[in-house]
A = this chain, B = another copy of it.
Amino acid sequence: MSIIRQDPTTKEWVIIAAERKRRPHEYHRHPRAHPQPAETGPCPFCPGHEAKTPDEVFRVPDSSGVGWAVRVTSNKYPALGATGVLERREAGPLFREMDGVGTHEVIIETPSHERSLPLMTDREVADVLLAYQSRYRSLREDPRLKYIIIFKNHGEAAGTSLAHPHSQLVATPVPPMLLRRKYEVAVAHYDDTGRCLYCDIAEEERRAKSRVVLETDRFLVFHPFASRVSFETWITPKRHQPSFGQVSEEDLRELAPVLRRTLRALYDQLGDPDFNYIIHSAPAEDENKDYYLWHIQILPRLTTIAGFELGSGIYVSTMRPEDSAAVIREYEQVTAGKGFG
């Protein structure tokens, strides 16, 4: 029998229809079901082609100091741009629109065309995280930008159009309604309990143990109780910290191996799955409030979002997070003695 669970952060339901427990190899894909996007001409993100990307806004230099380890540029086809006016316009009594003012950047994670995050060194992953945060801190100073979201699309089923490892940052002049909704739920929890909902969830997951896959001094990694997709994974800090902009450099350097190990376990157990990850963070104006906890949400794209999900908002997953977490924990144990970690 399937089960229905309520996501405590949105109050939306998910259906977990695990008629049969799948074994990990049934998720493992050889060869990749979704090949990397086809290459047409030289890659604009590879070294030597820097002129093909718009203006560079940030770089982490390489060890020689001549080249770059990480490079951030404006997106060539931006969803939002720097110009335009912020005022909403009425387009009839019911319709509102405004200019697409905002920021859309690309974080080129490595000079190597092939070296995706699960295959990097901890140091290389740390450089990517430092680049994310540098841009985050810089853009949160712009009062026009109400929300900054950093995300990664890996593989065609996750929406990548370029194979070279990269992430993206979008800053919007409006707060998403989805965020408003999560805040409503989190504020109600705070009013009832005096505590941060997300800290309570992480603590509850840590106590329950069954969905936890990794724990370090500062971070907890788990498959959430109401996972929307199989192998959904959250990385949360263990102490209350609303904004990704507030993370110390020391913490970011501890986060790097946690993120890399988490992605590597998915890479090895599922056969380099397509995935998205999202860095969720409180908006700049709420950095000192008690309601929200920044966190990383990883969503493997093993199935297709279909009509039921789009129409109802209810996701159907085929594996209990307790079972997927066991698959990842098993991997961690197998590899612990062999240099994984």
- Give chain A's interface residues, CB within 8 Å of chain B: 1-6, 8, 10-13, 15-17, 19, 77-81, 83-84, 88, 91-100, 147, 149, 151-153, 156-160, 168, 170, 172-174, 176-179, 181, 197, 200-201, 204, 207-208, 225-226, 276-278, 280, 297, 299, 303-308, 310-314, 316
Contact = CB atoms under 8 A, between A and B. Distances in A.
Nearest to A279: B311
A304 B177 contact: no
Given A93-B204, A172-B13, A313-B178, A1 B84 contact: yes
Contacts of A99: 1-4
A79 B15 contact: yes
Nearest to A299: B310
Given A1-B99, A92-B207, A276-B311, 12 more contacts: A3-B99, A5-B96, A13-B176, A15-B79, A17-B79, A79-B308, A92-B225, A95-B225, A157-B304, A172-B314, A178-B312, A179-B312
5 contacts: A4-B97, A6-B97, A15-B79, A79-B316, A95-B225
Nearest to A182: B313
Contact of A8 (B11, B94, B149, B297): B94
Contacts of A80: 2, 4, 15, 17
A172 B312 contact: yes
Contacts of A79: 2, 15, 17, 308, 316
Contacts of A303: 159
Contacts of A200: 93-94
- Copies of chain A in the complex: 2
Given A11-B177, A204-B92, A306-B153, A297 B278 contact: no
Given A3-B98, A313-B177, A170 B308 contact: yes
A305 B305 contact: yes
Nearest to A305: B305
B77 A8 contact: no
A314 B80 CA distance: 12
A326 to B, nearest CB: 17
A100 B278 contact: no
Contacts of A17: 77-80, 100
A234 to B, nearest CB: 13
B4 A176 contact: no
A311 B6 contact: no
Contacts of A84: 1
A306 B158 contact: yes
